[in-house]
């Protein structure tokens, strides 16, 4: 008994010592600064499988078996850049009408059938591609795929739905006249690219083209570009190649190939000097500011340094532009910048909506940051690279997210290891890289500056800055006359 008591006492003593030690260690934790971050983890995705149907239609598959869901995207090389001359908006209207009934179902019956399955089917026209998308529970995959195939291959293009879509777009055009942000973005794209470049005019079209579309033109656009040799199926979800291929072959295997002419476009002319464009919006409480120039194509070798540089300039909440205009001066709720990475050089834009009475001061701060971006610190570089690297996995949270990113792989012919190597390539960017691309792609002496606001309150201050020649425009000169609704 005495021996047992001694053992128990020893155990209690050890427990008290350990507890005291643990308590003591907890008290010595240094909470005066955040803990050191380890290296950003690399993204590791499941293997990308490249398959092909009996008619040659390419299939890109990524199996994700965590949840019983499937995303299927049909990516067709036909976007708003392929709008025929004088028919701006045709690709966009064709995509919208592909959701208005397909196969044996009219618009309401098609929507009801998708709702009954718990599936979502949509069609969207991008600049160079149109995407038909299906998101469905695995248990309804067979039925949902049949609907999806109808939408992609057998749209009905009913005339009555075209009139409804036409009326909706004309209403949207009318509403744009009261939206300074739309006015600013429309003018900015026009100034950079012009009316004859696919990145210039609004992708929806204008009043004249919208009023002119007919069913035959929509069907022709669809039949011209929708062929298996001009498309790729992207599938992500709880499926295997063995189970998937027979289903896809049954629905898409007889889709006939066709001759699709390659498209060419004129090159955009770079901004050669600084110029200001002012649009009067009487009574506006804020001024819309858009500043920029022609950027660079997605396939540039400078892609990773540009991403890091733009993160420092205006691509994050802690960026220089947002910190300056929002946090330090309180001119705006937010400011930022971005590069539009497309097959051809898109735009580089720095933008914000600022209080009317500080429009000139905000422009001064914009110019300051654009000028100083070629000077960065090692700390800024490290923080920007960590921001990009640590946030990158959030782009792959859902099967829809992943399918969307796989589209980049197809459009830009990127290697299969692109995603898994992304973090490594971002972390490899050096200070010299960032300085070099800042000097190359951000030139504050050769930019277009667009301001939409109350000119009675902002024009004098802007002129006093002497940033360059000024051209004044009306909203009607930017957007055209207001459409008269009800007149077809």
Range of weakest confidence among 295-299, 328-332, 391-395, 464-468? 391-395
Flag whether pLDDT at 107 surpasses 70.
yes
Average pLDDT over residues 230-244: 98
In contact, 199 and 347? CB cutoff 8 Å: yes
Q: What is the pLDDT of residue 17?
A: 47
Order of strands, sheet of 130-137, starting from the edge strand that comes earlier in the sequence? 49-52, 58-63, 231-237, 69-76, 130-137, 120-125
Q: Show Cβ contacts of residue 403 under 8 Å, excluding neighbours closer than 6 positions.
A: 71, 72, 73, 133, 234, 235, 236
pLDDT > 90 fraction of the chain, expressed in percent and rounded? 89
Q: What is the pLDDT of residue 228?
A: 98
In contact, 381 and 388? CB cutoff 8 Å: no
Range of weakest confidence among 16-25, 268-277, 369-378, 420-429? 16-25
Per-residue pLDDT band at 472 (split at 50, 70, 90): very high
In contact, 157 and 97? CB cutoff 8 Å: yes
Pull the structure tokens for residue 249: 């072959």
E strand or H helix that includes residue 196:
none
Per-residue pLDDT band at 30 (split at 50, 70, 90): confident
d(CA 282, CA 177): 12
Flag whether pLDDT at 230 surpasses 50.
yes
Q: What is the pLDDT of residue 1?
A: 43
Flag whether pLDDT at 16 surpasses 80.
no
Q: Show Cβ contacts of residue 476 under 8 Å, excluding neighbours closer than 6 positions.
A: 177, 482
Decide: helix, strand or coil at residue 69: strand
Q: What is the pLDDT of residue 20?
A: 45
Sign of CA dihedral 419, 423, 424, 428: positive
Q: What is the pLDDT of residue 282?
A: 96
| Closest residue by Cα to residue 447 from 292, 289, 290, 270 | 292
Per-residue pLDDT band at 41 (split at 50, 70, 90): confident
Average pLDDT over residues 296-324: 97
d(CA 178, CA 313): 30
Per-residue pLDDT band at 485 (split at 50, 70, 90): confident
Q: What is the pLDDT of residue 2?
A: 46
d(CA 115, CA 111): 6
**Strand 345-355 versus strand 286-294 pairing type:** antiparallel
Flag whether pLDDT at 40 surpasses 80.
no
d(CA 353, CA 356): 9
Flag whether pLDDT at 325 surpasses 50.
yes
pLDDT digits (tens, 9 = 90+) for 330-386: 999 999 999 999 999 999 999 999 999 999 999 999 999 999 999 999 999 999 999
| Closest residue by Cα to residue 117 from 63, 59, 69 | 69
d(CA 223, CA 154): 10
Q: What is the pLDDT of residue 487?
A: 56
Q: What is the pLDDT of residue 425?
A: 97
Flag whether pLDDT at 251 surpasses 70.
yes
Residue of 14 and 418 predicted with greater confidence: 418
Pull the structure tokens for residue 479: 């957007």
- Of the CA atoms within 13 Å of residue 15, those in its CB half-sphere come to 6
Three-state SS string over the chain comes to CHHHHHHHHHHHHHHHHHHHHHHHHHHCCCCCCCCCCCCCCCCCCCCCEEEECCCCCEEEEEECCCCCEEEEEEEECCCHHHCCCCCCCHHHHHHHHCCCEECCEEHHHHHHHHHHHCCEEEEEECCCCEEEEEEEEHHHHHHHHHHHHHHHHCECCCHHHHHHHHHHHHHHHHHHCCCHHHHHHHHHHHHHHCCCCCCCCCCCCCHHHHHHCCHHHHHHHHHHHCCHHHEEEEEEECCCHHHHHHHHHHHHCCCCCCCCCCCCCCCCCCCCCCEEEEEECCCCCEEEEEEEEECCCCCCCCHHHHHHHHHHHCCCCCCHHHHHHHHHCCCEEEEEEEEEECCCEEEEEEEEEEEHHHHHHHHHHHHHHHHHCCCCCHHHHHHHHHHHHHHHHHHHCCHHHHHHHHHHHHHCCCCCCHHHHHHHHHHCCCHHHHHHHHHHHCCCCCCEEEEEECHHHHHHHHHHHCCCCEEEECHHHHHCCCCCCCCC
Range of weakest confidence among 33-47, 157-171, 268-282, 418-432? 33-47
d(CA 364, CA 389): 32
pTM, two decimals, is: 0.89
Range of weakest confidence among 6-10, 29-33, 121-125, 420-424? 6-10
Give the number of other Cβ atoms within 10 Å of residue 168's Cβ.
12
Q: What is the pLDDT of residue 488?
A: 58
Per-residue pLDDT band at 6 (split at 50, 70, 90): low
Q: Show Cβ contacts of residue 365 under 8 Å, excluding neighbours closer than 6 positions.
A: 324, 325, 329, 331
pLDDT digits (tens, 9 = 90+) for 384-423: 999 999 999 999 999 999 999 999 999 999 999 999 999 9
């Amino acid at each position: 008994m005495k021996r047992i008591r001694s053992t128990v006492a020893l155990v209690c003593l050890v427990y008290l010592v350990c507890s005291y030690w643990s308590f003591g260690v907890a008290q010595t934790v240094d909470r005066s600064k955040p803990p050191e971050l380890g290296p950003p983890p690399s993204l590791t995705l499941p293997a990308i499988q490249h398959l092909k149907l009996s008619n040659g239609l390419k299939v890109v598959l990524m199996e994700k078996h965590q949840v019983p869901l499937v995303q299927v995207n049909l990516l067709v090389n036909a976007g708003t850049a392929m709008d025929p001359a004088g028919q701006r908006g045709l690709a966009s209207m064709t995509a919208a009408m592909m959701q208005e009934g397909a196969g044996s179902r009219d618009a309401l019956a098609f929507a009801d059938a998708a709702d009954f399955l718990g599936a979502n089917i949509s069609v969207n026209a991008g600049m160079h591609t149109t995407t038909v998308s299906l998101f469905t529970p695995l248990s309804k995959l067979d039925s949902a795929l049949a609907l999806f195939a109808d939408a992609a291959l057998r749209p009905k293009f009913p005339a009555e739905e075209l009139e409804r879509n036409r009326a909706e777009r004309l209403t949207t055009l009318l509403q744009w006249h009261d939206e300074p942000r739309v006015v600013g973005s429309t003018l900015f794209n026009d100034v950079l690219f012009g009316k004859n470049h696919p990145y210039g005019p609004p992708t929806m079209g204008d009043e004249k083209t919208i009023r002119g579309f007919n069913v035959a033109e929509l069907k022709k656009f669809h039949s011209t570009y929708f062929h298996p040799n001009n498309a790729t199926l992207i599938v992500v979800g709880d499926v295997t190649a063995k189970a998937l291929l027979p289903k896809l072959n049954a629905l898409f295997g007889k889709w006939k190939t066709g001759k699709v002419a390659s498209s060419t476009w004129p090159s955009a002319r770079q901004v050669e000097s600084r110029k200001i464009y002012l649009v009067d919006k009487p009574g506006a409480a804020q001024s819309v500011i858009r500043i920029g120039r022609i950027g660079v194509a997605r396939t540039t070798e400078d892609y990773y340094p540009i991403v890091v540089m733009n993160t420092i300039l205006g691509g994050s909440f802690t960026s220089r532009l947002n910190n300056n205009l929002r946090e330090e001066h309180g001119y705006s709720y937010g400011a930022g910048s971005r590069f539009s990475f497309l097959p051809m050089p898109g735009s580089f834009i720095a933008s914000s909506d600022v209080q009317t009475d500080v429009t000139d001061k905000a422009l001064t701060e914009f110019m300051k940051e654009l000028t100083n971006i070629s000077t960065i610190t090692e700390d800024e570089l490290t923080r920007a690279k960590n921001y990009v690297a640590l946030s990158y996995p959030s782009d792959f949270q859902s099967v829809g997210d992943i399918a969307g990113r796989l589209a980049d792989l197809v459009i830009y012919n990127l290697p299969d290891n692109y995603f898994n190597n992304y973090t490594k390539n971002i972390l490899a960017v050096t200070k010299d890289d960032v300085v070099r691309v800042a000097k190359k792609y951000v030139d504050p002496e050769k930019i277009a500056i667009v301001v939409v606001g109350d000119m009675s309150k902002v024009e004098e201050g802007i002129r006093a800055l002497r940033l360059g020649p000024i051209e004044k425009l009306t909203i009607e000169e930017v957007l055209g006359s207001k459409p008269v609704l009800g007149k077809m």
